[in-house]
Amino acid sequence: MDVLCLQSGSSGNCVFVDTGSECLLFDAGISFRKVQTRLKDAGRDASEIDAIVISHDHRDHIGCLGVLNRKLKVPIHISRRTLRSTERRVPLGPAQDIQHFVPGETFTVGETAIETMPTPHDGVDGAAFTLDNGCSRFGLWTDLGCVFDDLLASVNTLDALLIESNYDESMLAASAYPDFLRDRISGSGGHISNREAAEVISHASDQLQWACLAHLSDENNCPDVVMQTHRECLGDRLHLVCADRHLATQPLKISPSKNRKLTQQMFF
């Protein structure tokens, strides 16, 4: 698989994944022009995209969904409740080819299986995704709310992970945010901190090739603090990358899982 995080943060979220058989766009928080330009800069093309998958109904994930659907002419995969809430939040216009999934179930796009986990994040019907192309497994986990059991049970099955690492606890506590907003961010319906993200990653197996730390807060985090916190918890054993709040992050490749190959050889 190849992963290109086109942008991640409260200003807009969008991740391009080439699974080897399908090219998928996760979330639609940036414009078609930005998608097109950032893919072109990475040697890819928007015409490769086969489908759009939506995690939840917050504007930074669905703000450009209608335009992207019409420009790309590809299906939208979204839960029914998320779609209803999205239509109340942003003008979608004449969206076409809408396909529904249920958070907690697995659906397929072509040959790619997409496992969904319901999240306690305070969006409507939010989901985190794990992609499986038969050779490797990639977790795309943002806007989680809090660390929940399914994350810890699933992380040791992954070959790579994009996970939110939203805020530094000390920076948030010292911020000028009102109490209700601090409570919302750090509560069970908000986001997970650098320390919490690192703790999730620490449960991964040695097959995890890299982790991309995403959805950084502009006010209560910064890449240097993120990396320091994760290194203190994880050491130097894992390749770590910070996603950019306004630009595409470097392309990341997921090699086929050695464990998966071994299992397949034993089975056959």
Confidence check: pLDDT of 235 > 90: yes
Taking residues 119-129, report their average pLDDT: 95
- The band of 237, judged by pLDDT with boundaries at 50, 70 and 90, is confident
- State residue 112's pLDDT score: 98
DSSP per residue, 56-88: ---HHHHTTHHHHHHHHT--EEE-HHHHHHHHH
**How large is the average pLDDT for residues 107-126?**
96
Contacts of 170 (CB under 8 A, 6+ apart): none
Residue 206 DSSP class: T
Model confidence at 20, in pLDDT bands (50, 70, 90)? very high
Question: Residues in the chain, how many?
Answer: 268
pLDDT band of residue 262 (cuts 50, 70, 90) is very low
Q: Is the pLDDT of residue 267 over 80?
A: no
Residue-level pLDDT at 33: 98
Instruction: Return the exposure string of 20-54: e unless at least 16 CB atoms fall within 10 Å of the residue's CB, then b.
Output: bebbbbbbbbbbbebbbebbeebebebeebbbbbb
- Asked if 246 and 10 count as a contact pair (C-beta separation under 8 A), the reply is no
CA distance 268 to 266: 6
3 state DSSP class of 254: coil
Domains of the chain as residue ranges with CATH: 2-267 (3.60.15.10)
- Confidence check: pLDDT of 125 > 90: yes
Q: Say how far apart CA 57 and CA 118 lie, in whole Å.
A: 13
Asked if residues 251 and 261 have their Cβ atoms less than 8 Å apart, the reply is no
Mean pLDDT value of segment 42-59:
97
Mean pLDDT, range 93-114, rounded to an integer: 96
pLDDT score recorded for residue 97: 95
Task: Provide the mean pLDDT of the chain.
Answer: 94
Residue 134 has pLDDT above 70, yes or no: yes
CA–CA separation, 155 and 147 (whole Å): 12
Residues 6+ apart with CB under 8 A from 212: 3, 5, 160, 161, 162, 163, 240, 241, 242, 243, 249, 252
* Residue with more model confidence, 225 or 264: 225
Q: Smallest Cα–Cα separation from 13: which of 71, 53, 70, 66?
A: 53
Residue 66 has pLDDT above 70, yes or no: yes
Strands 112-118 and 76-78, sheet pairing: unpaired
Q: If you average pLDDT over residues 156-181, what whole number do you get?
A: 97
Determine the pLDDT at residue 91.
Answer: 87
9, amino acid identity: G
Q: How confident is the model at residue 260 (pLDDT cuts 50, 70, 90)?
A: low
Contacts of 172 (CB under 8 A, 6+ apart): 182, 185, 186, 193, 217, 220
Percent of the chain's residues with pLDDT above 90: 92
Other beta carbons within 10 angstroms of residue 261's beta carbon come to 12
Q: CA 222, CA 224: separation in Å to the nearest integer?
A: 6
pLDDT at 266: 29
